[in-house]
Amino acid sequence: MALVSIIIPAYNIDGYIKTCIDSVISQTFTDLEVIVINDGSTDNTGCILDDYSKRDCRIKVIHKSNAGVSAARNDGLKAAQGKYLLFFDGDDFSEPYTIAELVKIMQIEEPDVLLYGYHRWRDGEITKTSLPIFPEGRYEGKKIITDLLSRFVGISNEGINNWIKGEKDGLYVENPALWRCMVRSSVISNNALEFDVNLKIGEDTVFISDVLSCAKRCYVLHKPYYYLVYRESSAIATYEKNAVKKLDGKKRLLIARIALTDRVLKRSGVDIKSYWQGTVVMSDAELAFLFALRSGEMSFMHRYRSYLSYASLDEVRQSVKLLKLKTKINVKIFPFLLLKLRLNFLLFICAVILGLCNYEFSRE
């Protein structure tokens, strides 16, 4: 039985998967198994994986009909036998010493979750290096919830106020991707954790929050190991440009966050709702501007009703109501003032006009 299991979902990435697999099998640490789930790829991904599995017995390939990344990772969890788990994306790669150093820290510090940094990689070079925002070291008990989970699950209403005031990191959310942590497998199996197959976007946010809420000890390391490769055709890049998909994704993620909050409260006694309510308010404003842009055959009223289907949700209205605007009047505050006054139609009209002037609502 291997000490480390690496779970890699793969879908139509025949131009990237070789680099990913090569970075795994060339690790200086060799006591590992690589579980790759070919999620119904229609390109050459499956053939490439089969070829690798013939050459390296540590590689196990699961072929299945396309069901999404969450279902693929769940299949990987069922097959994994290692004491420690890593989740890689099939279009990324890591340093050759990654697993050796992570295992060493897991054995010395004995955390349930080890968090570390990563590089953003585009066109053959590093564009940005991101380290965890929280101090390096050990976290235990409720501090895992208040200090770590709180920065992964979303932004607070206070974060919106900080952003309106012009603070650079007012809307900062720690990247909740699973590839930037090593997890003790018993945390997942003992708590029957799995990925939400209803989520197409944001499944990492919910899963890593679940894992952290079940962990008794975590360790934060200020060192980058992983390379996040930018792809124009990636799921998140496509999602950000499509108003209808983004609306559906935000509705599903809101439902998942509410359920997550109930689970964390039962496990830890900590109510995390205030940690993510600002995300809901910001989504309310973002969707107004996104649907205000004319796209396809959708009429003005169709676009407005689509936006309103999110804005009128009880949880959204409650989050907006709880937002206490504490800043001086400036340009950034106006969308939120209109939301507070429940003037959604006026906000939408303003967004349409600004859109005609090529204005884009941005978190920058």
pTM of the model: 0.93
pLDDT band for position 358 (cuts 50, 70, 90):
confident
Quick one: what percent of the chain has pLDDT higher than 70?
96
pLDDT in tens, 312-326: 999 999 999 999 998
What's the confidence (pLDDT) of residue 364?
62
Q: Over 70: is that where the pLDDT of 74 sits?
A: yes
Amino acid (1-letter code) at residue 249 = G
Integer Cα distance of 50 and 96 in angstroms: 23
Nearest to 112 by CA among 204, 178, 185, 176: 185
What's the confidence (pLDDT) of residue 170?
87
Quick one: what percent of the chain has pLDDT higher than 90?
87
Helix (H) or strand (E) holding 225: strand 217-229
Residue ranges and CATH numbers for the domains of the chain are 4-230 (3.90.550.10), 237-356 (no CATH)
Q: Please tell me which residue, 298 or 156, carries the higher pLDDT value.
A: 156
Give every CB contact of residue 81 below 8 A, 6+ residues apart in sequence.
1, 2, 5, 33
Q: Over 90: is that where the pLDDT of 359 sits?
A: no
Q: Please tell me which residue, 359 or 78, carries the higher pLDDT value.
A: 78
Q: Where are the alpha helices (DSSP H) in the chain?
A: 17-25, 45-55, 69-79, 98-109, 143, 150-152, 157-164, 185-190, 203-214, 235-240, 243-268, 273-292, 300-311, 314-322, 334-340, 344-356
Q: Please tell me which residue, 11 or 167, carries the higher pLDDT value.
A: 11
What's the confidence (pLDDT) of residue 128?
96
With 0-12 / 13-18 / 19 or more C-beta atoms within 10 angstroms meaning exposed / middle / buried, residue 195 is buried
Q: Over 90: is that where the pLDDT of 236 sits?
A: no
Q: Over 90: is that where the pLDDT of 130 sits?
A: yes
Mean pLDDT, residues 246-272: 97
Give every CB contact of residue 328 below 8 A, 6+ residues apart in sequence.
none
Nearest to 282 by CA among 241, 320, 236, 327: 320
Integer Cα distance of 115 and 136 in angstroms: 9
pLDDT in tens, 165-222: 988 888 999 999 999 999 999 999 999 999 999 998 899 999 999 999 999 999 999 9
What's the confidence (pLDDT) of residue 202?
93
**Tokens matching residue 50:** 């089969």
**Tokens matching residue 189:** 């199996």
Average pLDDT, the chain: 94
Q: Over 90: is that where the pLDDT of 126 sits?
A: yes
34 neighbors 24 (Cβ within 8 angstroms): yes
Q: Over 80: is that where the pLDDT of 136 sits?
A: yes
pLDDT in tens, 14-48: 999 999 999 999 999 999 999 999 999 999 999 99
What's the confidence (pLDDT) of residue 235?
59
Nearest to 8 by CA among 72, 64, 54: 72
pLDDT in tens, 338-348: 999 999 999 99
Give every CB contact of residue 334 below 8 A, 6+ residues apart in sequence.
350
pLDDT band for position 357 (cuts 50, 70, 90):
confident
Mean pLDDT, residues 234-242: 65
What's the confidence (pLDDT) of residue 20?
97
159 neighbors 171 (Cβ within 8 angstroms): yes
Number of H-type helices and E-type strands within the chain? 16, 10
CA 258 to mean position of chain CA atoms: 16
Mean pLDDT, residues 128-157: 96
What's the confidence (pLDDT) of residue 361?
79
What's the confidence (pLDDT) of residue 234?
58
Q: How many CB atoms lie within 10 A of CB 299?
A: 9
Integer Cα distance of 316 and 116 in angstroms: 33
What's the confidence (pLDDT) of residue 56?
97
Least confident of 45-54, 150-159, 171-180, 352-361: 352-361
Mean pLDDT, residues 274-288: 97
Q: Over 70: is that where the pLDDT of 295 sits?
A: no
CB half-sphere exposure, 40, CA atoms < 13 A: 7
